Amino acid sequence: MARPATNSRQRFLEATQTLLRQGGLSAAAVNDVVSASQAPKGSFYHYFPAGKTQLVAEALLLYRDVVADYLNEELGSSAHLNARIENLFKRVAARMAVSDFRESCAVGAVVLDLSSQDEELRGLCNNILESWVESAATLLHELSPAARKPAATHLVQLLEGAQLTARACGNARPLKQAAAAFSIYLASFTEMSA
Amino acid sequence: MARPATNSRQRFLEATQTLLRQGGLSAAAVNDVVSASQAPKGSFYHYFPAGKTQLVAEALLLYRDVVADYLNEELGSSAHLNARIENLFKRVAARMAVSDFRESCAVGAVVLDLSSQDEELRGLCNNILESWVESAATLLHELSPAARKPAATHLVQLLEGAQLTARACGNARPLKQAAAAFSIYLASFTEMSA
């Protein structure tokens, strides 16, 4: 199969993101990443001299930016708040549908694989989840300043929980249900401030 | 260390539950289960002739009942609805604290490890999540009949998302935040029916 001319480093990172989304840390063994990337194995330790932890950390940082773009594009649009929430969950559903609901949030899958030896990655995952909360809080601008961070925290938890249950049932319904529930939650704040 | 006189089958299942809660399917290899169980390896295939899938399925069904008990005890108490929700999330937090927030929902961790070869376990996980929704729906008896199932669905998604984020930060705060958010969500229904 012809591939676009990306360099090996990029291929390793893309393959890692996909494997993390499928099965977390345990799915992203270096040999599996090399095999999935179709990049020359000899170059792996040139790009990632510190091995798997470095590879996973860099892939998670790229994944952080993908999700931040989704948040900015969907929650940052000019649509009504409820429509923006619905569009965000629809976007996540569309991405999951590409893999027939077999790939979900890379950070979520890594978090549920962490052992006590993975403190560095645990801290990184926590920072990424918090960065999404910060991004979302800014974009929920209709809410009072005090309500934005709790609402964004709720949104990020719900995105994780809904992706997990969507993988269990293999369809987008949990993401629709989560969007509807979050809009009901939000209504209490927007009514208060109205 | 002295152990209570449980039989080998029980020990295998308990060890499997713990390993699933720590790292999902990938953490529960048969050799690791045998080693963690301190039960004689020779008896493993006597109790689980179909191997790992049978072992994991039976462990998940036991775990289903543990969570159903939590739901019945906390959501089924005579306390006010908001107190019952708070108690449920506190109970989950207390259980996670025992492992220093390194163990979470066994079903959630398995779901994020599923591959396309694990259709049987995916169906089982989905059934278990739905059984919790059914249990919770009955126990949210203050809500109108039409609101109970959506609310219970939201609760189960949020329990999964909050446990995941609690593992990332290593403390109970996400579970407290989830309980507070769920109470805000619930208020819209109880106000409507008041």
Rounded mean pLDDT of chain B? 94
Q: Identify the pLDDT of residue A5.
A: 44
Sort out which chain A residues have CB atoms less than 8 A from B159's CB and list them. Answer: 161
Q: What is the DSSP string of B6-61?
A: --HHHHHHHHHHHHHHHHGGGG--HHHHHHHHTS-GGGHHHH-TT-HHHHHHHHHH
Which of A115, A121, A164, A171 to mutate against chain B (most B CBs within 10 Å)?
A164
Task: Return the structure tokens found at A96.
Answer: 């999951």
Task: Return the structure tokens found at A11.
Answer: 């291929």
Positions of chain B with pLDDT lower than 50, given as ranges: 1-5, 193-194
Inter-chain residue contact B157 with A177, CB threshold 8 Å: yes
For B119, the closest chain A residue by CA position comes to A168
Inter-chain residue contact B24 with A112, CB threshold 8 Å: yes
Per-residue pLDDT tens digits for A84-134: 999 999 999 999 999 999 999 999 999 999 999 999 999 999 999 999 999
Per-residue pLDDT tens digits for A150-187: 999 999 999 999 999 999 999 999 999 999 999 999 99
CA B67/CA B136 separation, integer angstroms: 11
Q: Identify the pLDDT of residue A191.
A: 61
The model carries a pTM of 0.95
Sort out which chain B residues have CB atoms less than 8 A from A178's CB and list them. Answer: 154, 157
ipTM of the predicted structure?
0.95
Compute the average pLDDT of residues A132-155. Answer: 97
From chain B residues 89-148, the ones with a CB under 8 A of any chain A CB are 102, 104, 107-109, 111-116, 122, 125-126, 129
Q: Identify the pLDDT of residue A189.
A: 83
Q: Identify the pLDDT of residue A82.
A: 96
- State the smallest CA–CA distance between residue B4 and chain A in angstroms: 27
Inter-chain residue contact B157 with A162, CB threshold 8 Å: yes
Over 70: is that where the pLDDT of A1 sits? no
Cβ proximity of A54 and B51 under 8 Å: no
Which of B122, B164, B167, B189 to mutate against chain A (most A CBs within 10 Å)?
B164
Q: Identify the pLDDT of residue A154.
A: 98
